[in-house]
Amino acid sequence: MAARNWNPWLRLLALPNESRAKTVLVAFLVSAVCAALVSGATVALRPIQTANRAAEEQARIAALVEGIPGMATLLEQSGGALSTVVINLRNGRAAADVTPATLDAALSDPGNWTALDAGQDLAGLGQRPDYAQVFLLRDGDSVSLVLLPLSGQGYGGRMDAILALRGDMNTIAGIAVTQHSETPGLGARIEETSWQASFPGTELRDDGGEMRFRVARGPASGVHEVDGITGATRTGRGVTQMVRFWLGPDGYGPLLDAIDRGEF
């Protein structure tokens, strides 16, 4: 009598092709190998995807900065280098243990988000990340320009933008809307350069420190207003609330105060 083969792989191969056990095992092995390959590809491609996202963000920032009157000259005079830092929004300081490279991982932790109550949630976010990446231009020891990512709810859904502030932390240097879901021909005009051109020079607060910024219902009538968009009142209100939230105490307010005091 032939000796029994105890090699499980050879025993599997010896089974007839119509064997149910062989079919199930082969299907399982193929699925396992495919899953391993997909997981490996995901891990291998993650740095490339991260780099692509970073490149896209830098391109949007470069376009915003280039569109600010006089900014190209200022960048050239200062060496043209924007620095980046992750801010702990709870205290307005540089994060001690989160970097731009680890920011996505940090924000995947629900513990690094703060729930907002109805009185706080001007931008309609529901919750706010505890960390945000900002971009700074320095003139000697002082900050001459800061670029701040914003997000909020418009009429059609979420809006994302980057707002640039001058060194006084009160005067808008420019804005770039990077994502939105607003109605074409109406609210979608927030992405048009002609509308965004009304932002530079707008002041956020009055002399008493009260937040006064808003999108007007029509043409701007004061230094704290930008032009409204006809037929897109709710979009304009969303932009107003987005800016007011992020430049307020629950957003970048502590950071702006620290910069204004020369402590950053």
Output the six-digit token pair for 212. 């006064």
Which H helix or E strand runs over 164?
Answer: strand 158-166
Tell me the pLDDT of the chain averaged across its residues.
82
What digits encode the pLDDT tens for the residues 237-264?
999 999 999 999 999 999 999 888 887 7
Stretch (H or E) spanning 148: strand 142-153
- pLDDT of 262 reads 81
> Taking 50 as the threshold, does the pLDDT of residue 103 lie above it?
yes
Task: Confirm if 206 and 121 have CB atoms less than 8 A apart.
Answer: no
Say if residue 41's pLDDT is above 80: no
The answer to whether the CB of 219 falls within 8 A of the CB of 198 is no
Residue range 76-90, pLDDT digits in tens? 654 556 788 999 999
Domain locations along the chain: 51-260
What is the per-residue pLDDT across 182-221, written as a single tens digit (0 to 9) for each? 778 787 888 888 888 889 899 999 999 899 999 988 888 8
pLDDT digits (tens, 9 = 90+) for 225-237: 998 888 888 888 9
End-to-end CA distance of the chain: 86
Contacts of 177 (CB under 8 A, 6+ apart): 159, 160, 161, 190, 191, 196
Q: What are the distances in angstroms from CA 10 to CA 7, 13, 138, 258?
A: 5, 5, 69, 71
Q: What is the pTM of this model?
A: 0.72
Q: How far apart are CA 160 and CA 200, in angstroms?
A: 18
Residue 144 has pLDDT above 60, yes or no: yes
Helix axes 71-78, 20-67, angle to 10 degrees: 100
